[in-house]
């Protein structure tokens, strides 16, 4: 890539968006899985907390930009 560090190619942007979406989808799936497990567990609070962490991560990950890394 040529130019300043703020300029990114279209391929890079598509790849970045795909990676962010994949990470968000993974966190959302982990949150759902933890909630299902919490319903079947004798000690659901830890799994519910884990689900909340994954939900927050899924919400916050979209705020990342390529300049953050």
Residue 1 falls within a domain, yes or no? no
Residues 28, 54 contacting (CB under 8 angstroms): yes
Tokens of 28: 């959302």
Alpha helix stretches (DSSP H) within 1-69: 10-40, 44-60
- pTM of this prediction? 0.79
15: in domain: yes
State the total domains in the chain: 1
Domain that holds residue 30: 10-64
- Residue 38, judged by CB atoms within 10 A of its CB (0-12, 13-18, 19+), counts as middle
pLDDT tops 60 at residue 2: no
pLDDT above 90 (res 43) = no
Q: What is the pLDDT of residue 5?
A: 53
Nearest one of 66, 69, 11, 64 to 24, comparing CA atoms:
64
- Judge whether 2 lies within some domain: no
Question: pLDDT band for position 1 (50/70/90)?
Answer: very low
Radius of gyration (Cα) for the chain, nearest Å? 17
């Amino acid at each position: 890539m040529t130019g300043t560090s703020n300029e990114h190619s279209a391929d890079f942007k598509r790849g970045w968006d795909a990676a962010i979406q994949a990470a968000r989808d993974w966190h959302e799936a982990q949150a759902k899985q933890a909630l299902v497990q919490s319903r079947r567990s004798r000690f659901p609070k830890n799994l519910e907390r884990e689900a909340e962490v994954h939900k927050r991560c899924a919400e916050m990950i979209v705020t990342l930009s390529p300049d953050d890394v």
